[in-house]
């Protein structure tokens, strides 16, 4: 299991408000093998989460060395966040899909949200008001 520390682009802002800074730790499991990479993105709004607009708050690519991954986002202000993950098994930098858009590589969302297909920000959001550890199981 690997630990990754992220200094997001909002780090400087967060330093100004240390009392509102929290850590969000992800424990990601169910990697079927360690080939390829994992892409993890952190979002604080629905538009960036569902891809309709805006940028992820943070995004990271992580090499795998086992069947799970531990990752911490530091210095986040209180608020709602959601996480998207996919396992890029063939290292082509994208989530592979078939001709109708159904993913053919493993993926997951915070709260393990969504029964079938993409989760909504509303279902995947984590309301962060302190340090928090969440577990995500890849589908």
Partner 1 sequence: MTKRREFIQYAGLASMALASPALSFASRAERRPFEQVPQRFAERPMRLEGDWPSTLKGKLYRNSPAMLERAGFQHSHLFDGDGMVQQYTIANGQVSHRAEMVATEKYLREQAAGRFLYPGLGSTPPQPKAARNNDSANSANISVRKIGKRLFALWEAGSAYEIDPDSLATVGRVDWGEALTHLPFSAHPTIDADGQWWNIGSWIYGGQALVFIYQLDQAGALKRFKRLALQQAGYMHAFCVSQNYLVLVNTAHLYQHKNEGNFFDKFQFDQQGHSQIVLIDKNTLTIERTIEIPANFVFHFGNAYELGNELFFTMAEYRDAQIMSRGLSIKETSVFGPNPVSYPSELCQYRIELNSGRWHKSGSGLSMEFPNFRQTQPFSPQALVGCGQRLNHGGQQRLEQLLQINPHTGTSDAYTFAENVSLDEPLYIQDSRGEEFIIHSFLDRQQNESGLALFKGADIGAGPIAKAWAGGVLPQGFHGCWVSA
Instruction: Output the smallest distance, CB 33 to partner 1, in A.
Output: 14
In whole angstroms, what is the distance from residue 122 CA to residue 32 CA? 28
Which residues are paired to 86 by β-bridges?
39, 107
100 binds partner 1 (CB under 8 A): yes
Tokens of 5: 């520390």
Q: What is the DSSP letter of 103?
A: B
Residue 77 within binding range of partner 1, rule CB under 8 A = no
Q: Which of 35, 92, 104, 129 binds partner 1 (CB under 8 A)?
A: 104
Tokens linked to 50: 């569902």
Residues 93, 99, 127, 130: which binds partner 1 (CB under 8 A)? Answer: 99
Distance (Å) of CA 63 to CA 18, 37, 42, 72 = 31, 5, 17, 15
Residues 8-47, mask of contacts with partner 1 (x by CB under 8 A): ----------------------------------------
102 binds partner 1 (CB under 8 A): yes
CA distance 88 to 33: 11
- In the complex, the smallest distance separating the C-beta of residue 98 from partner 1, rounded to whole angstroms, is 5
Using the rule CB under 8 A, give the single segment among 8-16, 61-69, 115-123, 127-135 that binds partner 1: 115-123
Among residues 113, 101, 125, the alpha carbon closest in space to that of 48 is found at 125
Query: What does the binding site for partner 1 look like in residue numbers (CB under 8 A)?
Result: 98-100, 102-104, 106-107, 112-117, 137, 139
């Amino acid at each position: 299991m690997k630990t990754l520390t992220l200094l997001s682009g909002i780090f400087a802002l967060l330093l100004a408000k240390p009392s509102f800074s929290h850590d969000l730790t992800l424990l990601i499991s169910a990697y079927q093998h360690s080939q390829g990479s994992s892409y993890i993105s952190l979002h604080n709004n629905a538009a960036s989460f569902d891809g309709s607009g805006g940028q992820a708050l943070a995004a990271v690519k992580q090499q795998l060395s086992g069947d799970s991954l531990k990752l911490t986002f530091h210095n986040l202000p209180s608020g709602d966040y959601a996480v998207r993950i996919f396992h890029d098994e063939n290292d082509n930098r994208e989530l592979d899909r078939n001709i109708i858009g159904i993913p053919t590589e493993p993926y997951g969302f915070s709260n393990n949200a969504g029964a079938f297909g993409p989760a909504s920000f509303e279902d995947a959001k984590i309301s962060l008001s302190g340090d928090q550890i969440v577990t995500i199981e890849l589908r």
